[in-house]
Amino acid sequence: MKTTIFVFMKESRYNKINIKDKIFKNKKILIIILVLIISISIDQIIKAIVVNNLYKSSTDIFEGVLSLTYIENTGGAFGIGSNSIIMFIIVNIIVIAITARFLLLKKEHINNHILISLALILSGGIGNLIDRIFRGHVIDYIDFNALIKYPVFNFADICVVVGCAIIIISIICSTRTKSKD
């Protein structure tokens, strides 16, 4: 059964509009919105848990390999440019705006793998931007020490890295497919 509404138009008559068609007309927009909502929500929920339970402390998950360590990162990736919060907010907003604009304008011309990867990159940027604006720093907490001492990172960073990895893999696969043709 279709859900419909009636809209009053200038010609003083009612036009029937199918709500489902309007909402689901563009599945690519829904994919973007779902990836953004889910990824940003996970990121912010984990950060709230970390702030409430690990504030300025650390706990081992797998001793010597993986720890949860509360870090306030005032810089960019790997703590580069510490105490440049305004610059990072501005750069973050510009990158988010460019990525969002590209997604909205080109969504019909890119495949779902690239669409999801760009949405992941966008959600990671938004997750860390939320921290920068409301906390004055980014909350990092994943401390991976398996083979080397790696900088502490968070779920938003994982979204950005996974999004970039998907793009790279998609480019490599499409290049191989085209070269075989």
State the Cα–Cα distance between residues 153 and 78, nearest whole angstrom. 8
Query: E strands within the chain?
Result: 4-8, 14-18, 58-62, 66-73, 138-144
Q: Which of 155, 159, 151 is nearest to 71 (CA)?
A: 151
Is the pLDDT reported for residue 11 higher than 70?
no
Cα angle, residue 86 at apex, residues 99 and 75 outer, rounded to 5°: 85
Mean pLDDT of the 138-164 span: 92
DSSP per residue over 99-116, as a string?
Answer: HHHHHHHHGGGS-HHHHH
Catalytic residue at 21?
no
State the Cα–Cα distance between residues 54 and 163, nearest whole angstrom. 28
Mean pLDDT of the 98-105 span: 90
In the chain, what are the helix, strand and coil shares in percent, each to the nearest 5? 60, 15, 20
> pLDDT confidence of 9, banded at 50, 70, 90?
very low
Catalytic residue from among 43, 131, 143, 157: 157
Catalytic residue from among 60, 140, 143, 181: 140
Catalytic residue at 143?
no
> pLDDT confidence of 16, banded at 50, 70, 90?
low
pLDDT tens string 115-150: 999 999 999 999 999 999 999 999 999 999 877 888
